[in-house]
Structure 1
Amino acid sequence: MQQVTSLDAQVLNAETPTAPGNVGALLILDPATTSSGAVTLELFRDLCQARLHQVPRLRQRLIDVPLHLGQPYWVDDPHFDLEYHVREIGLPAAGGEHQLAELVAGIHSRPLDRVRPLWEAYLVQGLARGRAAIYAKVHHVLIDPESGVELLAAILDDAAEPPEPEVPESEWRPASVPSQPGLLARGLTSTVGRLVTSPPRTVPHLSNLPGASRIPGSRVVSDIADTVVSLAVRRLRPRRAALEQSQLAPRTPLNGALTPHRSFGYGSVPLADIEPVATAYGQTVYDVGVAMAASALRRWLLDHDALPQRPLVAAVLTPARGDEAPTATGIRTLFVQLPTHLTDPEQRLAEVAKSLADHVESSPATTPPVSDATIFAALWALTCRGQFQQATVAGPAFNLFVSLVPGPRSPVYIAGARVASVHPVSAVTDRTGGLNLGLFGYDGSLELGVVACRELVPDVANLIGYFADALGELAG
């Protein structure tokens, strides 16, 4: 039995009816590579059943400590039901992108049931050209660097012929759920342990603890500690204030009060079309992708008569990289100015490249190679994690999230079906703005997934179209 981390507990507590902690992905499948030419619910469930043992969290749920005197614990779900978590939905005949996007938006809007394991997967049938799709959503607390890798790698394969399934050493049997007194004792013990091991954070607030006023000297100790901590951080405040002032986010329709409803859109742009543009301007594929996003946002803001006279500020999440191929070692958050106020697309690209230059190290006109599904899964997991970390810490205000995640240059497979495209389906919060734009490099394409608050951005489909049009502006 494992306790959730302090960060996870913080975001769990911050989750609201208008900002559920769901993150996910939409994968379009081409069943032509399967032996039967189709992906059935039985086949998909069998795949999940055979690999559940690789990700223990998929059969665990959260349980609260009595009186909330401690952070929740993960426990085995004695009533785990795979049929509840893996379902099938059909679109109308030859369902188009709009119908699929509406379906995903509706499911993504619903919070996950905390009395069950925090994930769901939907096999969607009825797409055009005989294709199918899988939309999977999980709660962010399942997405840490380790379990996130396990989660996607468990269902993704590098070849159409799946490997021989690993046979678990023993049949899974849920461990018994601890008693309420036992949970209370564990929770109190862990809480006291954190207080003891975190004196720099806790001692300045010692006098605020219940009953502390009755302890002789507690006020003096608390005041001294508060003074020391204040002196230690005072030197950082001018620099932080300067950063926030220089990247002040303008007011836009993207940053209003959220509702529980979501809109979603997705699309793809071939890297073969982007790379010549990047080469012509001496920029990177990353630069061109973010510049395309800036151009799409400019057109959308003009549509709504809401274009500000200064740049938008985006929190751009991208893997930390060195000279080698990216690995799952971390995610950096860059506060980047999106020059939506500039009319010239070439100037917008130049400004985006300048803003990213100090952060993104990559050769011109290249995309970082990612060799297999495992690294791709790690980067996806870390990006999801980074978005929720940013939602819970203080920092410069921004208008929207943009994520840049490189993926495999060759296709991956699920149950023998080739994954034709992968589209992020992320989250929006009151702090992170009402729009989240995800860019994934996969198998020769730049894949786009846009999640928004439906009332703030009801016309997500326009943004998808504007994103594709933006490349034509640069290509001339």
Structure 2
Amino acid sequence: MARVDRVSSDDLMSLATDRGTVPMQVGAALILDTRAGCDPADLIAAIGRRVPAVPRLRQRLVRPGILFGRQVWVDDPRFKIEDHVAVVSRPTAGGMGGLLEIASELLSTRLPSDRPLWTALIVPELDDGRTGLVIVFHHVVADGIAGLAILSALADGNPKTPNPIFPHAAPSRTELAKDAALEALGVIRRLPQEIVRLGQALGQLGPSLRTHASRSSLNKPIKGRQRFTVVTCDLAAIQEVGHANRATVNDVVLSAITGALRHLLLQRGEDMNEFVISIPFSSRRAAGAGSLGNQTGAVPIRLPATGAPLDRLAAVATITRAEKLSTRGASAAILGPLFRALARVGLFQHFVDHQRVVQTFVTNVRGPATALTFGGFLVRDIVPLTVAAGNVTVSFAVLSYAGRLTITIVSDPKTCPDLPVLRAALSRELDAL
């Protein structure tokens, strides 16, 4: 019997919510040290040799039909590395700024649904002997932790897949029907656990759903292409501040973000003392190349934005410490069915364009502690990429890598024309801490 590899219920939420002008895609921009010279064709070939280590990168999604269960992943016999990795055809101006412009365009371009849901672009000759490599996945392929697993599997020094069979035969309709029946029985057996999980989700989300986030210019419907800017700092310094104040790296970042958002709104003539931030909590600590997809729930947390920096940090740490006692990722038990139902009746986009639950998103992923090499080149930096969606005009993606902490600020240019003000404020808040 062929293996039936179905999308999970959490993956279904990623598919159902991909309805707006901004596609549900995530990615990363890698900065490669290519001072010794780099032929882009050799880099494409190196990626092609590593792709078999991540089976999902050669699979596409297929809808088997209403009687045969959820979508399934099947090997794409037409897969060619040249269809997924290309070299930028125009010169890049401005180094990192130019790379982020290209990354924004790539992330905002919807991936073709008839092939594996990922793409990559090589950006040669950035400056100072560097080359950019932008990799983008549809969110159904990977969340933040799974995305790092893909990058690690593609990097040098990892085990290769010995003589992989490709393509595997797709499951027959009979096999799909049998698997769907077994899955239905499994749902019935798991019903008691799901009821418990639903109760945990209500406990997580209840307080936020009963109150609204204050109205502000941070909540306006956004359209189209995103804009990125980056703030970097020394990870050891952030860890030291956290350790001295019984706080985590994430607490330090959240405290700096609330202070920066308050400054941004003050510049706009708005005064806010707290912000509701949606923070993802993954139900897993790590992922492998054979276990991708999404296993994440989001929790809205109300955090203070006023007070002395260290006092605010202590308050943030106390709030997040209490939240961590709840079950990781439990909120997906409510959000998944709710979002899928809204999408089915055509109301999801209206809901997210007018929601008053959260004012921003912050996702923080712990990356490799030591530097990777990719195609024989040292990876100097990794910039996390995500999208702002709905009516959230500004969001943040945070990644630690090889002793550095990188915070990518994602904004909608039309509703957040003052992005440089926010970037400068965030840098000052981190320095103050």
Q: TM-score range by the shorter chain?
A: 0.7 to 0.9
SS at match of 2:154: coil
Is the contact between residue 31 and residue 416 of structure 1 (CA under 8 Å) also seen in structure 2? no
Identity of aligned residues (%): 27
| Structure-2 change in CA distance of 1:201 and 1:347 (3 Å) | same
User: Does 2:403 correspond to 1:444?
Assistant: yes
TM-score normalised per structure 1: 0.72
Q: Distance in 2 between matches of 1:150 and 1:407?
A: 10
SS at match of 1:450: strand
User: Does 2:167 correspond to 1:174?
Assistant: yes
Which of 6, 11, 31 is the matching residue for 1:8?
Answer: 11
Match of 2:25 in 1: 22
- How do 1:270-419 and structure 2 match up within 5 A? 270-275=234-239, 277-278=241-242, 283-308=247-272, 310-317=273-280, 333-340=298-305, 342=306, 344-359=308-323, 392=336, 397-419=357-379
Is the contact between residue 251 and residue 320 of structure 2 (CA under 8 Å) also seen in structure 1? yes
Q: Distance in 2 between matches of 1:358 and 1:10?
A: 27
Is the contact between residue 108 and residue 226 of structure 2 (CA under 8 Å) also seen in structure 1? yes
Q: Deviation digits for residues 210-231 of structure 1, max 9, x if unmatched?
A: xxxxxxxxxxxxxxxxxx9xx9
Report deviation, 1:253.
2.8
Q: Deviation digits for residues 267-324 of structure 1, max 9, x if unmatched?
A: 311235435544665644332222111122112222333443x411112235679xxx
| Structure-2 change in CA distance of 1:346 and 1:64 (3 Å) | same
Report the AA paired with residue 96 of structure 1: G
User: Alignment length, in residue pairs?
Assistant: 405
Q: Deviation digits for residues 14-50 of structure 1, max 9, x if unmatched?
A: 3114242211111122224xxxx13332222121221
Q: Distance in 2 between matches of 1:285 and 1:241?
A: 24
Any stretches of 5+ residues in structure 2 without a counterpart?
A: 289-294, 340-355
| Structure-2 change in CA distance of 1:57 and 1:351 (3 Å) | same
Bigger radius of gyration among the two: 1
| Structure-2 change in CA distance of 1:411 and 1:167 (3 Å) | closer
Report deviation, 1:95.
2.7
| Structure-2 change in CA distance of 1:356 and 1:199 (3 Å) | closer
Q: Deviation digits for residues 329-363 of structure 1, max 9, x if unmatched?
A: 986755432323x25434432322222233569xx
- How do 1:195-234 and structure 2 match up within 5 A? 195-199=184-188
Q: Distance in 2 between matches of 1:201 and 1:88?
A: 48
Any stretches of 5+ residues in structure 1 without a counterpart?
A: 203-227, 362-382
Is the contact between residue 318 and residue 405 of structure 1 (CA under 8 Å) also seen in structure 2? no
| Structure-2 change in CA distance of 1:348 and 1:4 (3 Å) | same
Report deviation, 1:241.
7.9
Q: How well do the aligned residues superpose, as a CA RMSD in angstroms? A: 4.0
Match of 2:221 in 1: 257
TM-score normalised per structure 2: 0.78
Report deviation, 1:51.
1.6
SS at match of 2:263: helix
Q: Distance in 2 between matches of 1:62 and 1:267?
A: 36
The more displaced of 450-459 and 389-398 is: 389-398
Report the AA paired with residue 71 of structure 1: R
Is the contact between residue 94 and residue 129 of structure 1 (CA under 8 Å) also seen in structure 2? no
Report the AA paired with residue 421 of structure 1: D
